[in-house]
Amino acid sequence: MGQWTGNVVTEVAERKRERIARRQVDKFDARRTELAVATLHTLAELGYARTSLREIAQNSEFSHGVLHYYFEDKRDLVTEAVRQYEAVCVTRYDDVVARATSARQLREEFSEMFFTTLRQDARLHRLWYDLRNQSMFDESFRKDVLEIDERRELMIWRVVSRYAELAGAEPATSSAASYAMLDGIFHRALLAQLSGVDEAVHAAEEEFPRVFALLVTGGTEQD
């Protein structure tokens, strides 16, 4: 009886320690997320190559010591910041997909949002491309970049698949090819936007709906 009671007490104590440990981990992760989001605009403004944790701290309300406690280095902070931003971005078109009742409506609303976010969040988008470029040289970035890239591809594929369904058509390309095509347009237009070449952005915006329609074969748009 005594041994049984002792085992129960030990088990209860162990569970309590596990709960405390989980709460501590959750609190730590929540603080990391908070700091990453709060420094996102500073990171987007300075870029990866031009920043250090100390420089980020100087341009934010957080001390260097606080940032260094929660992040190993700037790579850790930049990756977390981009991950949090992309977690929101990869659902940005879901409402457009959900409310679309015709292929034309989906194409037009998707096109409008595509270029609205390009203009409004240009500096934040360039941080993602900065991180993706860095992964070509720094292997430590690649796992996170590939994970984010996969989520972005799925986001685009949800749009293309629904557009094909509404048009009574079939996707003309694979998910990877659709993403590569639209991401290429976005990347080029983003460079033009950041360079102040407004006519190039406008030209891409004008052509985009026609290019998007090429992603499916057969079927027709219905009002």
How does pLDDT run along the chain (223 residues), one tens digit per residue? 555 445 544 554 455 455 544 565 578 888 888 888 888 888 888 887 777 888 888 877 788 888 889 988 888 888 888 888 887 787 889 999 999 999 999 999 999 999 999 999 998 899 899 889 989 998 888 998 999 999 999 999 999 999 999 999 999 999 999 999 999 999 999 999 999 999 999 999 999 999 999 999 976 665 4
DSSP secondary structure letter of residue 140: G
For 215, what's the count of Cα atoms within 13 Å in the CB-facing half-sphere?
A: 27
Amino acid at 141: F
Helix (H) or strand (E) holding 92: none
Helix (H) or strand (E) holding 82: helix 74-89
Q: What does the pLDDT read at residue 100? A: 95
Domain with CATH 1.10.357 in the chain: 82-217
Q: What is the dihedral of CA 138, 144, 146, 151, to 10 degrees?
A: -150
Residue pair 182/213 in contact (Cβ under 8 Å)? The answer is: no
Q: What does the pLDDT read at residue 23? A: 61
Burial class from Cβ neighbours inside 10 Å (0-12, 13-18, 19+) for residue 199 reads exposed
Pick the CATH number of 82-217 from 2.40.50, 1.10.357, 3.40.50, 1.10.3470: 1.10.357
CA dist 173 and 213 (Å) reads 12
CA dist 210 and 78 (Å) reads 36
CA dist 63 and 59 (Å) reads 10
